[in-house]
Structure formats: C-alpha cells, structure tokens
Amino acid sequence: MNVKYLLIACLAALSMFALIGCTDSDSTSSGPAGTGEIRMYLVDSPSEYDAVNIVVTRVEVHIAEADSNSGWWVVNDSTATYDLLILANGANAVLGDTLLPAGHYTQIRLYIGDGSNVVVDGITYPLTIPSGQQSGLKLNHQFDIESNTLYELTLDFDAESSIQQTGNGGYMLSPVIRVIANIISGTISGMIDPASARPWVWTVAGLDTCSTYADAWSGYFKLMALPEGIYAVHVEPTDTTRQDTTISGVQVMAEQNTELGTIELIPG
C-alpha cells in the first residue's frame, strides 16, 4: 500500500475512535440509570433585623422504604453561610443539587451549625440552637424522584418568626420553614410607586402568610413559591402618608410569574 494512503487510513481510524469516545461520554451526562436530580432553593420572608446569618452544614432527604435511622441521602454536606435577608424579591440560594435514587421521599433534614447569628441595630448576637434541633431539623415533605428527571423545590425561611429573644437578652433560633415544590407553584411581582413608601407586600397561601418588602430604590417586589390559585395581594406602606391597597383576584399558575405592573399608592 502507498505510504500516503496508509497515513490517510490511520487518521480516519483515529477520528472514528475519538468520535465513539465522545458519544459514550455524553450518554452518561444525565446520571446512572434509576437516578434523578433534586435541586433545593432557599428564599426568605422579611424581618426587621439588620441581618440573619444561618450556617447550614448538611442537607439530607429520607427515602420512604427505610426506617427512621437509615435511608438518609446527602444532598449537600458543604458548610455555607446564608444571609437570609438578601434572599428576597426573586433572589435565592441553591441549598443543594445532587443525584438521588429514584423513589418516594418523605422528609428533609437540615443541620444548622455554630456561627449562626442575628444583627440587631448594628450589634451581632449569636443564635442559640435548641438541643432538640442539633441532631437536624426535620421538615415533612412528600415527593418523588423519577429517573432522568429534575425535581426542584423551594424552602421559604421565615426569619421573623424563627428568631426569639430570650430572657437574658440573647436570641434563639427555632426555624419556621415553608416547603413547596416548584412544579406546582408560581410567583407574583410588580412595582410600587412611589418606591420611597417601602411597603410590606403580603398574601395568604393556605395557613401561611407570604410576604416581602418592596425594594426601597426601584419599588420592585416579588412574592415567591405560591401554590396555584387565586390570591388577594395586600400593600401596606411604611410611609403613613400613603394609603393601604389590596389587589384581589390575582391568579397564580404553576411555574409562571403573574406581573401586576405598577401599583400607585394614593396619598392618604
């Protein structure tokens, strides 16, 4: 065989081998057979504190087939600190993202570690954790992980309700967290005019009050993780020269945002 043709044949074989190698790698990008993906987001309802810093050391979920001591799967074991008060009006943090065996799950467990604190009038106070929660805060939430499917959920951490002042002037953390699957929930957003009114914007979802403060500069607000349904959105300005207002009949659709446009607050 001519040397020229021999070289061409070798190059063609090498190209075919590289192509096969790339194809094999891509075929496993969705994870092993029988696994699906979970992704958790963390958001916050507003509070009057300067900052609320929560140290999360570990996140786990429990599969239904196992007993209470086994069957816990780790979603995230990288320690991270979250300032809850910046996780509002559409901002969120990814609390965990991993592959899990397909199946039915019943609980989420959060481990909150030392170093969590609250800032009040510029002073930082450590948050004590009740002894019963040091083994992990358990949140009941039923969900299914399906093969090659992403399951997303949002944990709405109510900072105001979660922190209690103790008799000795300290602060204790007893987390109040609402859990909602993204696939059955949506959002409501809008603008407040004037933004300087800095209103508290809230609505009721079942037994829960979902709320936020409109941004003081832009007037923008966004209510997160609302189950599908019809809502009344209440706007209560912190500026007492403006009147409260309510927008009724606001429809929320799953995985969609309902935009209310600009809400003008009437002088009062």
CA distances from residue 114 to 57, 111, 257 in whole angstroms, order as listed: 9, 10, 37
**Dist. CA 36–CA 27, nearest whole Å:** 15
Average pLDDT over residues 94-116: 96
* Residue 10 belongs to a domain: no
* Residue 69 belongs to a domain: yes
Name, in order, each residue with C-beta under 8 angstroms of 215's C-beta and a sequence gap of 6 or more: 89, 195, 221
According to the model, what pLDDT value does residue 47 have?
85
The answer on pLDDT for 155 being more than 70 is yes
199 three-class SS: coil
Same domain, 151 and 206: no
Per-residue pLDDT of 80-100, as tens digits, reads 999 999 999 999 999 999 999
Number of structural domains (the chain) is: 2
Same domain, 59 and 105: yes
Q: Which domain holds residue 194?
A: 185-268
Same domain, 229 and 253: yes
The amino acid at residue 238 is T
Checking DSSP bridges between strand 123-128 and strand 93-101, what pairing results, if any?
A: unpaired
| CATH number of the domain where residue 145 is located | 2.60.40
Give me the DSSP letters along 115-153. Answer: T-EEEETTEEEEEE--GGGTT-EEEEEEEEE-TT-EEEE
Average pLDDT over residues 10-17: 36
Same domain, 65 and 119: yes
The answer on pLDDT for 163 being more than 70 is yes
Per-residue pLDDT of 180-206, as tens digits, reads 999 999 999 999 999 999 999 999 999
End-to-end Cα distance, the chain:
96
Among the candidates 122, 140, 175, a domain finishes at 175
Among the candidates 175, 210, 236, a domain finishes at 175
Q: Furthest-apart CA pair in the chain: how many Å?
A: 96
Checking DSSP bridges between strand 51-63 and strand 72-76, what pairing results, if any?
A: antiparallel
* Residue 12 belongs to a domain: no
Among the candidates 175, 204, 220, a domain finishes at 175
Same domain, 196 and 254: yes
According to the model, what pLDDT value does residue 134 have?
66
* Residue 16 belongs to a domain: no
**Dist. CA 93–CA 89, nearest whole Å:** 12
The amino acid at residue 208 is D
Q: For the ranges 12-26, 43-57, 226-240, which has the lowest average pLDDT?
A: 12-26
* Residue 227 belongs to a domain: yes
16 three-class SS: helix
Same domain, 82 and 162: yes
Cβ atoms of residues 170 and 184 within 8 Å: no
